[in-house]
Amino acid sequence: MKSPPLKGLWYFKTAAELGSFKQAAEALFVTQAAVSQQIRILEQQLGCTLFERQTRKVVLTQQGQDLLPYLHKAFGQIDMGLSTLKADPNPSTINLSVLPSFASCWLLPRLAQFKNALPDYQLRIDPTEQLADFNEDDIDIGIRFGLGDYNGLKSELIAEDELVIAYQPGLINPNKPLRSQLSKHNFIYDEGRDNELAWFELCDQLGLSGHASSNLKIDNAALVLQATVAGQGFSLVRRRLVAQSLALGQLEIHPEFSWQCEFRYYLVAPERHFEWPKIKAFRDWIITELKSTDP
């Protein structure tokens, strides 16, 4: 089925409603010659004249008047259809997809602040290792730790982080150099994605022999922290995840070593989600909150 001359009809509708080719041209961000031509072509295709040309103005013919209301409805429908795509189906609930480690170590301890800052919004946390499918799952926005390349999605950098040496207070003396102390304790290793380089760097700095020194491998940053708090040894963890335990005196970090993460924290979602009020509000809140705990 051949398509109707949609562009011409859009130009016609604009010109008809404004009663002027010139004004239509302005509204359409083109020259009025373009409008004139499109409407001439449309009239040829339809085989009838839509406008009667008078000097310095145009008036709708009977046929133009007949056609206009249909186009009005039609383009209105299209507009409504497109609006539903952009609209937020549930404007008061923020469905957040977030890594379990970040959820338990950073977000949950700050729920009170969130409720205080944004009392009108409900926060629903969906902790998943993999970034949720925004088409399938009912997710509004994700917080991810990575390089910012999330295929087809918009991502916004919200924070950086660094890896530090954490341990139960007393396990290691922060006032003495690391080198001599580390070898006496278990290294609790988080098998996260970009930790390896940092571990190599640490071994390099301290003259250790690499992986061999790792006595406990755990594929979950939250459990690594838990084991560290329990005094199982020392670990290489992100400073932002450890801030809460630090404040509570459950952990200490050694000032000698830190490693800037290659990965960073991003807000991730389809572009249109970033236009929703609740997402804008959440974004502003989390940026402020992250800033307030900047190292």
Partner DNA sequence: TTTTATACTTAATTAAAACTTAACTATAAG
Partner DNA sequence: CTTATAGTTAAGTTTTAATTAAGTATAAAA
Binding site for DNA (CB under 7 A): 7-8, 20-23, 29-41, 51, 53-58
Binding mask 61-90 for its own copies (x = CB under 8 A): xxx--xx-xxx-xxxxxxxxxx-xx-----
29 makes contact with its own copies (CB under 8 A) = yes
The nearer residue to DNA, 58 or 99, going by C-beta atoms, is 58
Between residue 182 and residue 211, which ones bind its own copies under the rule CB under 8 A?
Answer: none
With contact defined as beta carbons under 8 Å apart, do 51 and 59 qualify? yes
Minimal distance in Å, beta carbon 150 to DNA? 15
Minimal distance in Å, beta carbon 52 to its own copies? 7
Minimal distance in Å, beta carbon 156 to DNA? 24
Q: Which of 4, 19, 277, 295 binds its own copies (CB under 8 A)?
A: 4
The nearer residue to its own copies, 204 or 271, going by C-beta atoms, is 271
91 makes contact with its own copies (CB under 8 A) = no
The nearer residue to DNA, 34 or 290, going by C-beta atoms, is 34
Q: Which amino acid is at 162?
A: E
Task: Note the residues at the interface with its own copies (CB under 8 A).
Answer: 1-4, 6-7, 9-10, 14, 27-29, 46-49, 52, 61-63, 66-67, 69-71, 73-82, 84-85, 135-136, 152, 270-272
